[in-house]
Amino acid sequence: MNIAVLALQGAFIEHEQILHQLGVQTHEIRQLSDWQKPKDALIIPGGESTAQMLLLKQLGLFHPIREAIFNGLPVFGTCAGMILLSKDHLGTMDIEVRRNAYGRQLGSFHTDGKVDGLEGHIPMTFIRAPYIEKILSPQCHPLSTVDGHIVAARQGKQLATSFHPELTDHLGMHQYFLQMIQEKESCQLTA
Ligand code: GLN
């Protein structure tokens, strides 16, 4: 398996390290020619969503990525990556997000939480994180809430978290994503 990791800005190396630990090959997307290489899935990392949006557009990556996700390419967006998947950005996930949702003082914090489909508690690192304010279609399912706010969701082959699983040593969210990639279409419908 080979997973493309958007490497324009933000915490992309940490995702690659986790995927390598799980025996998965990666390649970085820095320009359109990188995107043309074969891939089984895409990761959009945390960082700064405005900067990432601008670069996606400038580099001609915005439309090809959007189209590939609409055509079923599995994608995992963390933090700014979740913002990019939301309505008003790439718009492939039917979610509305609130950016920097935890305000200045609580901008960065760590907690443990439950995620549907994963055993036990998952360490969750939030850094000036968004949360999902609204789920806009029945195809999109919340997977986790923290303090009453949705912090993880799945829609078909799209996964998004407000927190940064790549900044902890817990491999659960990435394992969940790898499983999602391999699921047959029929499982996807009942997931
Ligand atoms: N606050 C950032 C944004 O709005 C996201 C922060 C992150 O990815 N850690 O894009």
134-188 pLDDT, tens digit each: 999 999 999 999 999 999 999 999 999 999 999 999 999 999 999 999 998 645 4
Model confidence at 73: pLDDT above 80? yes
pLDDT reported for residue 107: 77
Model confidence at 190: pLDDT above 80? no
The arithmetic mean of pLDDT across residues 31-41, rounded, is: 98
**Catalytic center residues:** 79, 164, 166
How large is the C-alpha radius of gyration of the chain? 15
Structural domains in the chain? 2-182 (3.40.50.880)
Quote the ligand 1 centre to 125 CA distance (angstroms).
12
117-129 pLDDT, tens digit each: 999 999 999 999 9
| Candidate of 9, 44, 50, 79 to mutate for ligand 1, largest count of ligand atoms within 8 Å of Cβ | 79
Model confidence at 191: pLDDT above 50? no
Model confidence at 40: pLDDT above 50? yes
pLDDT reported for residue 184: 80
pLDDT reported for residue 151: 98
Quote the ligand 1 centre to 81 CA distance (angstroms).
8
The arithmetic mean of pLDDT across residues 37-44, rounded, is: 98
Residue of minimum CA distance from atom 1 in ligand 1? 128
Alpha-carbon gap, residue 155 to 41, rounded angstroms: 15
Residues 6 or more apart whose CB falls under 8 angstroms from that of 54 comprise none
Ligand 1: atom nearest CA of 164 is 9
Question: Ligand 1: residues whose CB is within 6 Å?
Answer: 46-49, 79-80, 83, 99-100, 127-129
Residue ranges with strand state E in the chain: 2-6, 25-29, 41-44, 75-78, 95-98, 108-113, 122-127, 131-135, 140-146, 149-155, 158-161
pLDDT reported for residue 34: 98
| Candidate of 6, 44, 49 to mutate for ligand 1, largest count of ligand atoms within 8 Å of Cβ | 49
